């Protein structure tokens, strides 16, 4: 008998760059965009630690198509509100040349506490990501799925790479965002936990010993959410376009659905050592979808694009039930045209001008809206 999949609801969060169209530098919106957006969008928009960042989040969506229409709406609204302040909006994991030292911190006790604790690691954390929550039936299954999904994080990350520049330098990485974020504690790939009680005990220990004041300060690339029945993928750079975001969201949802299907059929996916997965994460940060990653089963290097095609084969039998084929198929275009990082580098190689790269980022932001 065919296993009917649960809904696997989605929540998508994006972090946007607010940019001065004259200087092309990041610019504080003095909370005017956030305050204006709250009138229309309520809790779907919030300020971030730096005043030049706006974070938006969808409502709980039943499928990828719903999430896509929400992201389109949110992008459109923020562009509209920014325009009223003579500002523009962009999507990338880092700004090509903005200096964190010049960017004011949002006046909020939460951010003051983080800066007070983490000092320059927090002040310099001028980065932008896309997070995707996938709803799960219960946290026990969620824990199993998180342990198994860890293997696929470098594959997803490679496709999302969109931060090749930092403070005016070409870094040599396709995603320098992760290198900046590595300075924070409790980041990177998640630990393996054999049960939810072991995970909750870990969180409880950190809170009781004043390492963290609440369990959300676990900033891993993938986490079982401490308060909601979701697993949250946090590894992606912020995407240039809606199409890229939704392709990544569709792949993430399909991975969770496929691993769930295997789990209920008592055939769980291999768990690989974190030390091995870290090797692939480094390669994804450095090369994006170019070059090779490691196939641990074969114990050999394989072209990253070939591994992504294998991933598509792996999730093939759940895609139509999830209704996300259109979004997932976009991956072929991403592999042909390159990731956001590849496109930014192409503009720079052609023009040798980082302001032109910023113009490209802001122009791509509204594509498909």
Which pLDDT score, from 0 to 100, does residue 267 have? 86
In a domain, 136, yes or no: yes
Structure tokens at 336: 């042909």
Q: How far is Cα 167 from Cα 102, in angstroms, rounded to an integer?
A: 11
Tally of domains in the chain = 1
Compute CA distances 238 → 261, 270, 317, whole Å: 29, 29, 28
CB 58 within 8 A of CB 44: yes
The CATH number linked to 342 is 3.30.590.20
Which pLDDT score, from 0 to 100, does residue 3 have? 67
> In sequence order, what are the beta bridge partners of 17?
53, 90
CB 120 within 8 A of CB 266: no
**Which class for 14: exposed (0-12), middle (13-18), buried (19 or more C-beta within 10 A)?**
buried
Closest of 140, 328, 149 to residue 222, by C-alpha: 149
Q: How far is Cα 5 from Cα 80, in angstroms, rounded to an integer?
A: 38
Dihedral (C-alpha) 67, 31, 179, 74: value to the nearest 10 degrees? 10
The 10 Å Cβ neighbour count of residue 369 is 12
CB 259 within 8 A of CB 140: no
Tens-digit pLDDT profile for residues 131-186: 999 999 899 999 999 999 999 999 999 999 999 999 999 999 999 999 998 988 89
Range of the domain at 280: 10-365
In a domain, 1, yes or no: no
Residues of the chain short of pLDDT 70, as ranges, are 1-3, 30
Residue that is written with structure tokens 């691993």 in the block? 259
Number of helices (H), then strands (E), in the chain: 14, 13
Q: Is 255 helix (H, G, I), strand (E, B) or coil?
A: helix
What's the helix, strand, coil split of the chain in %, to 5?
A: 50, 15, 35
Q: How far is Cα 139 from Cα 306, in angstroms, rounded to an integer?
A: 33
In a domain, 181, yes or no: yes
162's CB contacts (< 8 A; 6+ apart) are 91, 92, 93, 174, 175, 177, 237, 238, 239, 240, 339, 340, 341, 344
Structure tokens at 125: 């954390």
In a domain, 176, yes or no: yes
Closest of 32, 38, 49 to residue 110, by C-alpha: 49
Q: Classify strands 53-57 and 165-166 as parallel, antiparallel or unpaired.
A: unpaired
CB 32 within 8 A of CB 47: no
In a domain, 2, yes or no: no
Which pLDDT score, from 0 to 100, does residue 2 have? 66
């Amino acid at each position: 008998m065919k296993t009917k999949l649960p809904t696997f609801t989605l929540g998508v969060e994006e972090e946007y760059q607010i940019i001065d169209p004259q200087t092309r530098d990041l610019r504080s919106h003095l909370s005017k965009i956030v305050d204006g957006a709250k009138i229309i969008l309520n809790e779907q928009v919030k300020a971030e630690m730096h005043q030049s960042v706006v974070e938006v989040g969808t409502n709980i969506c039943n499928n990828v198509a719903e999430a896509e229409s929400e992201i389109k709406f949110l992008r459109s609204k923020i562009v509209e509100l920014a325009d009223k302040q003579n500002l523009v909006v962009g999507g990338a994991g880092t700004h090509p040349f903005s200096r964190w030292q010049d960017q004011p911190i949002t006046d909020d006790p939460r951010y003051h506490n983080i800066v007070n604790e983490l000092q320059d690691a927090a002040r310099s954390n001028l980065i932008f990501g896309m997070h995707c929550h996938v709803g799960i039936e219960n946290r026990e299954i969620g824990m199993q799925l998180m342990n198994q999904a860890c293997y696929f994080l470098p594959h997803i990350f490679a496709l999302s790479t969109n931060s090749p520049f930092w403070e005016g330098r070409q870094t040599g990485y396709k995603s320098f965002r992760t290198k900046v974020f590595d300075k924070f504690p409790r980041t990177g790939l998640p630990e393996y936990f054999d049960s939810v009680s072991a995970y909750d005990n870990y969180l409880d220990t950190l809170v009781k010993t004043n390492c963290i004041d609440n369990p959300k300060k676990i900033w891993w690339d993938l986490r079982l959410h401490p308060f909601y029945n979701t697993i949250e993928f946090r590894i992606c750079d912020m995407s240039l376009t809606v199409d890229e975001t939704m392709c990544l969201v569709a792949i993430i949802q399909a991975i969770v659905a496929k691993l769930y299907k295997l789990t209920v059929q008592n055939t769980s996916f291999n768990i690989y050592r974190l030390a091995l997965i870290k090797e692939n994460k480094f390669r994804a940060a450095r090369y994006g979808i170019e070059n090779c990653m490691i196939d641990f089963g074969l114990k050999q290097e394989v072209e990253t694009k070939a591994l992504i095609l294998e991933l598509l084969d792996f999730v093939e039998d759940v895609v139509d039930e999830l209704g996300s084929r259109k979004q997932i198929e976009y991956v072929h275009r991403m592999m042909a045209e390159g990731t956001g990082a590849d496109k930014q580098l192409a503009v720079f190689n052609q023009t040798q001008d980082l302001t032109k790269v910023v113009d490209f980022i802001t122009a791509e932001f509204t594509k498909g809206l």
